[in-house]
Amino acid sequence: MSFEDRFEKLNVRDDDRHESAGDHVNNRILDKFANQIKTDELSFTRGKTNKDKANRATVENVLDPRTMRFLQALTSRGVISDFNGCISTGKEANVYHAFAGYKQNQKKDKTGEEESPAPDSVENNAEEEEAPEERDEYAIKIYKTSILVFKDRERYVDGEFRFRKSRSQHNPRKMIKIWAEKEYRNLRRIYQSGVIPVPKPIEIKNNVLVMEFLNRGNGFASPRLRDYPYKDREEISYFYYNMIADIRLLYQICRLVHADLSEYNTIVHNGELYFIDVSQSVQPEHPMSLDFLRMDIKNVNLYFAKMGIDIFPERLIFQFTISETLPNFDGDYKNLKDLMDYIPKNLTVKKTAEDEAEDEVFRSLYLVRNLTGLEERDFDRFTEGKFDLLKSLLAHDNQKNFSDQKPVEPETLDDDDSDEDDETDGESEDETDEEEDDEEYSDEEPKILKGKKYEDKDEKKARKKEAKEAKREKRKTKIKKHIKKKMEKKIKSKK
Ligand SMILES: Nc1ncnc2c1ncn2[C@@H]1O[C@H](COP(=O)(O)OP(=O)(O)OP(=O)(O)O)[C@@H](O)[C@H]1O
Ligand SMILES: [Mg+2]
């Protein structure tokens, strides 16, 4: 069966309603509606290429011919095979199910990653021939090629040191590529850290991300936390503590803030809480990382409060997350269970109206990277006691976390940027310009943060003073404008 034929079999389901939308024949739709689909947002490179618009048109904003070629490339390279339909259709991406290709299975055999039958057993060999082959299942996240939803997400890439060279990216297709790449890298970083379960990242090919499919058997995806059938209240609290401990691990060990954490972006798989959807996650150095962290905590609390369990003040969870050391903690800082044990024993639950009022204040706080940059208006909002709280939240921890920060990633955490892509991928020239940009991303961390944004108040003052003086000096020798004009006139008339 040809690749296109396989896609004709795609069964697209609307995730929001969890209903089957029936058979979906992508290619036929593509033929029929290609000319009607608005592709303006894809025409940024006007003049550069003269491609048929219909050729760029998108079915479901996902499976445009280009994306199909990337999928084909992944298939011919033996990374994936057999597409079985859509797991989820969302705003920015659709997620499909596929099986691992022959190459992946070969790799598995070589590395012995999975338990394989004993080679000397005749019985086993016979069984192997008869039994249907066990193949890995993959989730394929395909980012939509419509830029509209990504526009307001630029702020997650802006301010990211790793993506500094790809900032202000105006080519929408490149922007999406960066976005997918960001998710892949974040996923890989978390996966390699081994402290928080995430789907294993397999491959990235432009806007197509291949990862492990978290399933509960028979092709069904494991439930998101939102759909998880809790046994009892204890289990709800268990996952609440698990979530809080993971937020800390993500921050302290993986050096990331999820930035879209919720019951929708977490999956319960084999009894464990998995983080997914990490495309927007940022490093703590991102200027807005603390705001994102605060937002994550708020969302998590909202959900668990709705589930009817006692929750902790957002302020305390925040503090728990960013404090490098925890008082009275004698466990392993990388161990989820140790942290989960600590939480209910050391964080006091939110009870009174006063607690809620404190959280309100906390939510409205202008969070800054260090105390020197704290605006006066925020100081004014605090009584003396509350100011101490703020100081302990920001000054102490941020001194450590942001000022004299050394790269914390252990070597194993990081990426080998082996990109096997070559011409055999079946890409045409128009993709090669994008491949060149592969070097745009760098996970190396800044040792000293440079630029006006990061300098402290005194430095800023000194810089401004210097500039002022330089200008004053210049003014002394400057020829007045009207004199200059007169001189110019004279010269002209002499000519
Ligand atoms: N590796 C996976 N294994 C199983 N299911 C997955 C996997 N990745 C994603 N899903 C399913 O697909 C859904 C959407 O994935 P994800 O959250 O990464 O995409 P999204 O970009 O957030 O989409 P949306 O625009 O809807 O927010 C998830 O809620 C989950 O149900
Ligand atoms: Mg999501």
CA of 8 to the centre of ligand 2 (A): 26
At residue 451, the pLDDT reads 59
At residue 454, the pLDDT reads 58
The lowest-confidence range among 180-194, 289-303, 405-419, 456-470 is: 405-419
For residue 214, which atom of ligand 1 is closest to its CA? 3
Pocket test for ligand 1, best of 87, 207, 258 (most atoms within 8 A of CB): 87
Q: Say if residue 214 carries a ligand binding annotation.
A: yes
- pLDDT tens digits for 408-422? 333 333 333 333 333
Residue 433 pLDDT > 60, yes or no? no
As for the ipTM of the complex, it is: 0.97
pLDDT band (50, 70, 90) for residue 192: very high
At residue 476, the pLDDT reads 67
At residue 420, the pLDDT reads 36
Selected catalytic residue, list 64, 136, 277, 397: 277
Of all protein residues, whose CA lies closest to atom 18 belonging to ligand 1? 277
- pLDDT tens digits for 34-77? 343 333 333 323 334 344 444 444 445 567 888 889 998 999 99
> Residue 117 corresponds to which tokens in the numbers above?
């039958």
Cite the DSSP H helix spans in 307-394: 314-322, 336-346, 353-364, 376-380, 384-390
At residue 421, the pLDDT reads 36
* Residues near 53 by beta carbon (within 8 Å), at least 6 away in sequence: 35, 39, 43
At residue 370, the pLDDT reads 44
Pocket test for ligand 1, best of 138, 198, 277, 279 (most atoms within 8 A of CB): 277
At residue 361, the pLDDT reads 84
Q: Say if residue 277 carries a ligand binding annotation.
A: yes
Cite the DSSP H helix spans in 112-232: 122-130, 148-151, 154-157, 172-193
CA separation for the pair 278, 190 (Å, rounded): 10
Of all protein residues, whose CA lies closest to atom 9 belonging to ligand 1? 95
Nearest-ligand number for the alpha carbon of 262: 2
The per-residue pLDDT of the chain, averaged, comes to: 72
Nearest-ligand number for the alpha carbon of 91: 1
At residue 364, the pLDDT reads 81
What proportion of the chain, given as a percentage, has pLDDT over 70? 55
Of all protein residues, whose CA lies closest to atom 13 belonging to ligand 1? 88
- pLDDT tens digits for 116-154? 433 343 344 444 444 456 789 999 999 987 655 555 556
The lowest-confidence range among 86-90, 296-300, 304-308 is: 86-90
At residue 333, the pLDDT reads 98
- pLDDT tens digits for 4-14? 555 545 443 33
Of all protein residues, whose CA lies closest to atom 10 belonging to ligand 1? 95
SS3 (DSSP) at 14: strand
Q: Say if residue 433 carries a ligand binding annotation.
A: no
Residue 392 pLDDT > 80, yes or no? no
At residue 323, the pLDDT reads 93
Residue 439 pLDDT > 90, yes or no? no
CA of 97 to the centre of ligand 1 (A): 11
At residue 224, the pLDDT reads 97
The lowest-confidence range among 151-155, 169-173, 313-317, 380-384 is: 380-384
**Catalytic residue check, 260:** yes
- Strand order of the β-sheet with 208-212 is 80-89, 93-100, 137-143, 208-212, 201-205
CA of 429 to the centre of ligand 1 (A): 31
* Residues near 137 by beta carbon (within 8 Å), at least 6 away in sequence: 97, 98, 99, 100, 212, 213, 215, 219
Selected catalytic residue, list 64, 260, 359, 397: 260
pLDDT band (50, 70, 90) for residue 388: very low
pLDDT band (50, 70, 90) for residue 471: confident
Q: Say if residue 393 carries a ligand binding annotation.
A: no
**Catalytic residue check, 277:** yes
Nearest-ligand number for the alpha carbon of 226: 1
- pLDDT tens digits for 209-230? 999 999 998 778 999 999 999 9
Of 315, 288, 287, 297, whose CA–CA distance to 388 is shortest?
315
**CA 216 to centroid of chain Cα atoms:** 25
CA separation for the pair 371, 456 (Å, rounded): 10
- pLDDT tens digits for 230-250? 999 999 999 999 999 999 999
Nearest-ligand number for the alpha carbon of 94: 1
Q: Which residues line ligand 1 at a C-beta cut-off of 6 Å?
A: 87-88, 90-93, 95, 139, 141, 199, 211-214, 221, 224, 264-265, 276-277
pLDDT band (50, 70, 90) for residue 157: low
Length of the chain: 495
Pocket test for ligand 1, best of 84, 88, 143, 267 (most atoms within 8 A of CB): 88
> Residue 385 corresponds to which tokens in the numbers above?
């006691």
Of all protein residues, whose CA lies closest to atom 1 belonging to ligand 1? 213
For residue 280, count CB atoms less than 10 angstroms from its CB and return exposed for 0-12, middle for 13-18, buried for 19 or more.
buried
* pLDDT: which is higher, 485 or 12: 485
